[in-house]
Amino acid sequence: MKKNIFLLLIIFFSIKAEAKKDIYPLTLIAAKADLIVIGEIDVVKGNTYIFKISENLKGQKFKTITVKMFQEWDCDPRWEKPKKGQKLCLFLTKDQNVWEIINGSSGEMFISGNLIYLGGEDSMKIVNNEITRNDMSLTEFKNTIKDFCSCYSFVGKLGYRNYDKPHYILQTCSDRQIAEFEKRSKFSTKLFEEMKSYNVIKLLNHLNFLLTPSNF
């Protein structure tokens, strides 16, 4: 059984590599998002849906928005077909008159009761020798995302193929706040620890960074 599970995982990640779809960690997706909201689909129209917002985690507040569905890949299909009443947490950027989901399933997470199903590279886990969808407490998730987004913002264009262009992560809260947020839960510890491997610029040094030609 274990051999079969590991074989499936190898196949899964091999497909991802062959498809060459960039999969970004939640830290970058949350830092880059202009809008992070919780709500449900009201109307499905072609490749978009009208989304009724019940809670705002980041960005401007809206009652309803039009969301463009992401392009599905063999390695990154939508878990369920969109339908009225489907509850989701969305990580979005604005594109003209519609909002776009960041990085496919990484930025469109399904909600059931007080559980949220993670997407992207965190979408699966092994329990009792079986592959299953990875979920966690919605309350813990929301609190952590709010804390995280109050501290970090991604500046520039998100993309592993854009490293030659200006991009960095701006830290907008104090080190003391980060230390406090990091201890609140295992999920908080995971996200804030991951940020230590990135190029993070503190807000007080931001202006000097922008005025330094060598950074661009």
Segments forming the whole domain that contains residue 107:
2-137
- For residue 92 the two structure tokens come to 């979005």
**CB of 82 closer than 8 Å to CB of 66:** no
Q: What is the mean pLDDT of the chain?
A: 83
Rounded to an integer, the average pLDDT of 99-107 is: 91
**Which of these three, 118, 137, 156, is where a domain ends?**
137
Residue 171 has a pLDDT of 95
User: 71 and 16 in one domain?
Assistant: yes
**Which of these three, 121, 137, 153, is where a domain ends?**
137
| CATH at 81 | 2.40.50
Instruction: Specify the higher pLDDT residue, 141 or 168.
Output: 141
pLDDT band with cut points at 50, 70 and 90 for residue 21 = low
Rounded to an integer, the average pLDDT of 43-60 is: 96
Residue 147 has a pLDDT of 98
User: 116 and 19 in one domain?
Assistant: yes
User: 159 and 71 in one domain?
Assistant: no
Residue with tokens 């997706």: 29
User: 93 and 11 in one domain?
Assistant: yes
Which residues touch 163 (CB under 8 Å, ≥6 apart)?
Answer: none
Residue 109 has a pLDDT of 96
Q: What is the pLDDT of residues 56-88, one digit of tens each?
A: 999 999 999 999 998 766 666 787 889 999 999
Three-state DSSP at 136 gives strand
Q: Is the dihedral of CA 143, 147, 150, 153 positive or negative?
A: negative
Instruction: Specify the higher pLDDT residue, 140 or 212.
Output: 140
Residue 165 has a pLDDT of 57
pLDDT-wise least confident of 22-31, 82-91, 109-118: 22-31
What is d(CA 179, CA 125) in angstroms, rounded to the nearest whole number?
A: 28
| Total residues found in the chain within this entry | 216
Three-state DSSP at 213 gives helix
> Any alpha helices (H) in 23-125, and if so which ranges?
26-32
Instruction: Tell me the C-alpha to C-alpha distance, in Å, between residue 25 and each of 37, 74, 89, 118, 194.
Output: 18, 19, 16, 11, 9
Residue (of 185, 181, 106, 196) closest to 151 by Cα position:
181
User: 119 and 156 in one domain?
Assistant: no
What is d(CA 160, CA 23) in angstroms, rounded to the nearest whole number?
A: 9
